[in-house]
Structure 1
Amino acid sequence: MTQHGALSGIKVLDLSRVLAGPWAAQTLGDLGAEVVKVEKPGAGDDTRSWGPPFLRSTHDGSPLDAAYYVCANRNKKSVAIDIATPQGQRLVRELAPNFDVLIENYKVGGLKKYGLDYDAIRQLHPRIVYCSITGFGQNGPYSHRAGYDFLIQGMGGMMSVTGRPDDEPGGGPMKVGVALTDILTGLYASTAILAALRARDVHGVGQHIDLSLLDVQIACLANQATNFLYSGEVPQRMGNAHPNAVPYQDFRTKDGFIILAIGNDSQFRRFCDAAGLGCLADDERFARNTARIGNRDALVALISRRVGEQTTKHWVDLLHDKAVPCGPIRNIKEVFEDEHVAARNVISRLEHPLAGRIPVVSNPIRLSETPVAHAGSPPTLGQHTESVLTDYLGLDGRRIQELRAQGVLG
């Protein structure tokens, strides 16, 4: 693990599983915190089995952990403790005072029966920053429901504005292609944790962070939410079109698609001049963005005809030269083959104890003085059980073996 990151010296106890919590903990680990992940012996994080694809052993090619698990668990140590047992609960309570942060995503009240809830841990460690991530928050009529990204995208409004309109082929609600609500919740969690750590430095006490996937999803409706609040009109699915800017969508070219992302009137004029449609920039129906929104269908039809006459490459080369925001629609393979993406070093390679050198997507944060480090590969289940319990609690090998024999440790 990195010793010189921005969060060097901060210790995080990660009791979370799947994506939102692990993403938050991984972000802190990338920034230099020491992260210890507590997992169930024999099974571990649910996503270890969410494959194929899987990591493969360099020894015999056998499957190891799923690629899904790899995306959210680098820069961590894994300790296999069964917190359903009294001895396992005691071990976690003894570990907690050694840590600055605890992250968990159990159902509301799920850790209270184990004596690992915020109130119990705070009694042992008043300076703890305790982050609880749930589907619906710690209070309210839905607080005891389980919440998953797909469900929250539906309940939180995202799917109502994602996808093609109902009256078009393929129309209907659509989720985003990655678990975006989980990712955004993880990022909000890491931000909240950093804020709470700063407050602790000033005031000397920790606090409880109550983070809800539903709250995050609603917050991230952004302009769609405020459009409704200020107009009273319910936003609808518009495919790839934008409710507040035109033209801001995909167009079919002679051999594929291009995205035009026209954000202001001067960009629109430059596009029209480059495309041989200069008359449109002087047309009162299209000269201003407000007018273009009101005449969206007519304008899109005119642009579509013109764009369809040339290839994607033609338009990208032409419009980039004119400072018009545009680009092709790529698959993920094409993304990683892009020369600019390669220049930004978005793939890092880590040494895994069983799978050799493995690729991971780099953290996008670029800090000039305390750079992010991708130092530790996602750990195997229980890889650090003995070292963590020895270093933090002083347990010797004999005691650890006893606990293993009793099924408390993996």
Structure 2
Amino acid sequence: MAIEIKAPQFPESVADGTVATWHKKPGEAVKRDDLIVDIETDKVVLEVLAEADGVLGSIVANEGDTVLSAQVLGIIEEGGVAAAPAAAAPAAAQAAAPAAADGEDDPIAAPAARKLAEENGINIASVAGTGKGGRVTKEDVVAAVAAKKAAPAAAPAKAAAPAAAAPVFAAGDRTEKRVPMTRVRATVAKRLVEAQSNMAMLTTFNEVNMKPIMDLRSKYKELFEKTHNGVRLGFMSFFVKAATEALKRFPAVNASIDGGDIVYHGYSDIGVAVSSDRGLVVPVLRNAELMSLAEIENGIATFGKKARDGKLSIDEMTGGTFTITNGGTFGSLLSTPIVNPPQAAILGMHNINERPMAVKGEVVILPMMYLALSYDHRLIDGKEAVSFLVTIKNLLEDPARLLLDI
């Protein structure tokens, strides 16, 4: 019975996908829930699993082909028999050949070949003979030993494959390497250009004294982690919580433009920018205004792990009414983040640096962070944008206003 392997049903926000990698070859046996093929979309890589045991009969969509929702990718022959490996033919010939003079069941082999196989832990019966009548020669064993030594290196080579897109050249090397842009990277590039072309985008800056939060975190982090079953207290949860409170006070920052209409959202779905091997992804914390600090930290940690493992789903990355990005993770002191359409604003966090600050007429060394708010001036007035950022600053510098849930 033939079973069609189909592409997943893409959501409305994803038009199509690209066949990235076939993990099985035609004629190869597959088991139910085996990974058959990866489909790369502009958001995530989707895994297509086998629906039944059988044999991969044929491949309809090759690697690099563009496919639509539910499009047939290949065929599984349910209950089929896997094709024998190429080496099976010589092995069969060996099995049919006369047994050795001593009556053993192993294939005919030259004494030198037997000795070399024993020294290297090679089963002589597994070696394909190329000599007359299927006789195993010394050269055949040498080839088998080389193949055995090369096999362990195959797994690391596959794991290192993603890094091939960014080759390292030797000094003075004038060679070039051209690699296709991934759909994720291409889509990010397209949207960044569209955002700058279609928005009246401005950025306003401020700075925040991080000492109150750092002191609070240092004081309660062990109790927080113990109370919330191992969830660690970081800085991001404070920023998310402060942002949701500020969004309540300035609903235009949480709105979006749809044609000639302004859509105000009565909820705060906060996108948190996460870096992964495939590029920047933005999973969304749904109804973040209802979440505790522990729930926010747990959600961010889960997203981070899924991003590293390539397990984020399209639903987890769809939507969002406001985004927070943290360039400080990589040491950025100041930047102008680009708004993620159709959102109207994005908050940029940066590195925490100790700087001399004037406090009540005295110079004090404080851990300071620059904040940046990029916004769509078509929707948000400058006064609202500045007031929104000042609200976040005030909430962070007086964290007693935010509930620790301990």
Structure richer in strand, relative to its length: 2
- Using the size of structure 2 for normalisation, the TM-score is 0.18
Structure richer in helix, relative to its length: 1
Structure number with greater Rg is 2
- Using the size of structure 1 for normalisation, the TM-score is 0.18
